[in-house]
Amino acid sequence: MTRPLDGITVVSLEHAVAAPFCTRQLADLGARVIKVERPGSGDFARGYDTRVRGQSSHFTWINRSKESLALDLKQPEAQGALAQLLERADVLVQNLAPGAAARMGLAYEALQARHPRLIVCDISGYGMDGPYRDKKAYDLLIQSEAGFLSVTGTPDTPAKAGISVADIAAGMYAYTSILSALLLRGRTGVGSHIDVSMLEAMGEWMGYPLYYAFEGAAPPPRAGAAHASIYPYGPFTAGDGGTVMLGLQNEREWQAFCAQVLQQPELADDARFATNALRNQHRDALRALIVQAFAALSAAQVLQRLDAAGIANARVNDMADLWAHPQLAARQRWRDVATPAGSVPALLPPGASNAFEPRMDPVPAVGEHTRAILAELGWDAARIDALAP
């Protein structure tokens, strides 16, 4: 079976989430990803927690299908090994501390002459230039800088995303930018430099609230789990204490919601709720009416009425519910992936293709492939023993 990136070699000086998320997706498509780690401790994300049979949840999620090469890049011999790897690599990815890659001679400008086909992707908090260039950046800090916290949470309290959304955004743009750079190299024969900023990735994802607040207009209010500008759209409590998530998008759905779900067709003509703007303006009054109607129903009964009326809805699931989600099971989206502590289930990457199966190889131990990779580079046993005792 041929995968889209078979034959592509990626060398990654990566840690945490953004770069590893990018390179795992390249590995999913068949790329060989050589992950350069610190000897002993490895990627510091390995130590975030011990929730997966003693291993980190973050690391298990985004590091399958990679080879781990343990190198102390402060040592000349290790730098030589890395230089040999780059001679045969297609892509170099790094998200080290600001300026660290350049100090090791790994800036694109330093590599371009020796490796004209190499694609270099630098992932950082704020980009390779500008006044924030050297500022350290972590996911929550970028969520804050990008204004994400200003529109997320309750009216009284801002809240961060429950996942590393800034890291994930940067990793996604690095991944797609590398794919486009590979396509471009196929036409020109020349590699290129990709500069991915977490702030700019989140800035793109903040496009709706940015334009909502265009030219000094009021920004979207923090509305908890409800939509900030469409109503009713969010969580509502049923009589059995269960929570139902529902969302209306247009006036036809509003009419159906009143008639079939609330079973109060006259409410559709109430002047307070005649348009979405008015419903949003009077959301407290409308919410009270909806909760009163739902008080006589279980969450399951509310969901049944919503389905019958063609109103979008969802259960408010927790992680146990997601592990057991019937739709994921029906579509056979789970595979087993080996780890140093045994096999664990893993979701197939999104975007099912009829042409190939994504690669789902093991999560590596620190330095698991060091000896094999150095031997592949032509090192003899004594030299390998000196670097990887």
pLDDT band at 36 (very low <50, low <70, confident <90, very high): very high
Average pLDDT over residues 325-354: 96
Q: What DSSP state is assigned to residue 109?
A: H
**CA-based nearest residue to 20, from 73, 51, 59:** 59
Name the percent of the chain lying above pLDDT 70.
100
pLDDT in tens, 131-148: 999 999 999 999 999 999
pLDDT at 226: 87
pLDDT band at 314 (very low <50, low <70, confident <90, very high): very high
pLDDT at 1: 85
Nearest 5°: phi and psi at 245? Answer: -100, 130
Residue 10 has pLDDT above 90, yes or no: yes
Residue 55 has pLDDT above 80, yes or no: yes
C-alpha angle 32-110-133 in degrees, rounded to nearest 5: 90
Average pLDDT over residues 98-105: 90
Q: In what order do the strands lie in the sheet with 193-197?
A: 66-70, 32-37, 9-13, 91-94, 119-124, 193-197
pLDDT band at 388 (very low <50, low <70, confident <90, very high): confident
Average pLDDT over residues 11-25: 97
Average pLDDT over residues 27-38: 98
pLDDT band at 389 (very low <50, low <70, confident <90, very high): confident
Spell out the domains of the chain, with CATH numbers in brackets. Answer: 9-206+333-387 (3.40.50.10540), 233-316 (3.30.1540.10)
For the chain, what's the residue count? 389
Strand partners, 233: 247
CB 272 within 8 A of CB 286: yes
Residue 224 has pLDDT above 90, yes or no: no
How many C-beta atoms lie closer than 10 Å to residue 319's C-beta? 7
- DSSP assignment of 163-231 equals S-HHHHHHHHHHHHHHHHHHHHHHHHS---EEEEEHHHHHHHHTHHHHHHTGGGPPPPPP-TTS-SSSS
Question: Can you list the positions of beta strands (E) in 5-76?
Answer: 9-13, 32-37, 66-70
Residue 13 has pLDDT above 80, yes or no: yes
Per-residue tokens: 253: 């759905």
pLDDT at 269: 92
Residue 90 has pLDDT above 80, yes or no: yes
Mean pLDDT computed over every residue of the chain: 95
Residues belonging to the active site: 227
In b/e form, how buried is each residue of 111-131, taking b as 16+ CB within 10 angstroms?
bbeebeebbbbbbbbbbbeee
pLDDT at 217: 94
pLDDT in tens, 251-303: 999 999 999 999 999 999 999 999 999 999 999 999 999 999 999 999 999 99
